[in-house]
Amino acid sequence: MKDVLEDFRVSEAPYWRETGDEITLFTAAWDARIPVMLKGPTGCGKTRFVEHMAWKLGRPLVTVACNEDMTASDLIGRYLLDVDGTRWQDGPLTFAARHGAICYLDEVVEARQDTTVAIHPLTDDRRVLPLEKKGELLKAHDDFLIVISYNPGYQSLMKDLKQSTKQRFGAMDFTWPGPDVEAEIVAHEAGVDADTAQRLVEIGARSRNLKGHGLDEGVSTRMLIHAGRLIKGGIAPKAACSMALVHSITDDPDMRDALDAAVSTWF
Ligand X SMILES: Nc1ncnc2c1ncn2[C@@H]1O[C@H](COP(=O)(O)OP(=O)(O)OP(=O)(O)O)[C@@H](O)[C@H]1O
Which range, of 30-38, 41-49, 186-194, 233-241, touches Mg ion by CB under 5 A? 41-49
Pick the stretch among 18-26, 39-47, 79-87, 181-189 that binds Mg ion (CB under 5 A): 39-47
Q: How far apart, in whole angstroms, are the C-alpha atoms of residue 14 and residue 3?
A: 22
Distance from C-alpha of 149 to C-alpha of 43, rounded to nearest angstrom: 12
Residue 79 CB, shortest distance to ligand X, in Å, is 32
Residues sharing a CB contact under 8 Å with residue 183, sequence separation 6 or more, in sequence order: 194, 197, 198, 200, 201
Q: Which of residues 87-126 bind ligand X (CB under 6 A)?
A: none
Q: Which of 19, 196, 242, 250 binds ligand X (CB under 6 A)?
A: 19
* Minimum distance from residue 197 beta carbon to ligand X (Å): 12
d(CA 37, CA 147): 6
Establish if 151 lies at the interface with ligand X (CB under 6 A). yes
Query: Does residue 43 belong to the site contacting ligand X (CB under 6 A)?
Result: yes
Cβ atoms < 10 Å from Cβ of 19: 18
Is position 64 an interface residue for ligand X (rule: CB under 6 A)?
Answer: no
**What is the identity of the amino acid at 153?**
G
Phi, psi (degrees; rounded to nearest 5) at 87: -140, 130
Q: CA-to-CA distance for 15 and 51, rounded, in angstroms?
A: 9
Q: Enumerate the H helices of the chain as residue ranges.
A: 22-31, 46-57, 72-76, 92-99, 113-116, 163-166, 179-190, 194-209, 221-232, 237-241, 247-249, 253-266
**Binding test (CB under 6 A) with ligand X, winner from 9, 17, 159, 206:** 17
* Shortest Cβ 110–Mg ion spacing (Å): 12
Burial of 231 (0-12, 13-18, 19+ CB in 10 A): buried
Q: Is 95 exposed, middle or buried (0-12, 13-18, 19+ CB in 10 A)?
A: buried
State the residue number with the nearest CB to Mg ion.
Answer: 47
How far apart are alpha carbons 29 and 260 in whole angstroms?
43
Exactly one of 45, 77, 91, 204 binds ligand X (CB under 6 A); that residue is 45
Q: Is 40 or 91 the residue whose CB approaches Mg ion more closely? A: 40
Query: Residue from 3, 4, 13, 15 that binds ligand X (CB under 6 A)?
Result: 15
Residue 15, binding choice from ligand X, Mg ion, none, Cβ under 5 to 8 Å by partner class: ligand X
Contact assessment for residue 207 and residue 248, using Cβ atoms and an 8 Å cutoff:
no
Are the C-beta atoms of 164 and 121 separated by less than 8 Å? no
Decide which of Mg ion, ligand X, none touches 228; Cβ closer than 5 to 8 Å per partner kind: none
Give the residue closest to ligand X by C-beta. Answer: 45
Cβ of residue 105: shortest distance to ligand X, in angstroms?
A: 12
Partner from ligand X, Mg ion, none contacting 94, C-beta within 5 to 8 A by type: none
Rule CB under 5 A: choose which of 27, 47, 71, 113 binds Mg ion: 47
Q: Which is nearer to ligand X, 172 or 258 (CB)?
A: 172
Residues that bind Mg ion (CB under 5 A): 47
Binding site for ligand X (CB under 6 A): 15-17, 19, 40, 42-48, 151, 177, 185, 189, 221-222, 225
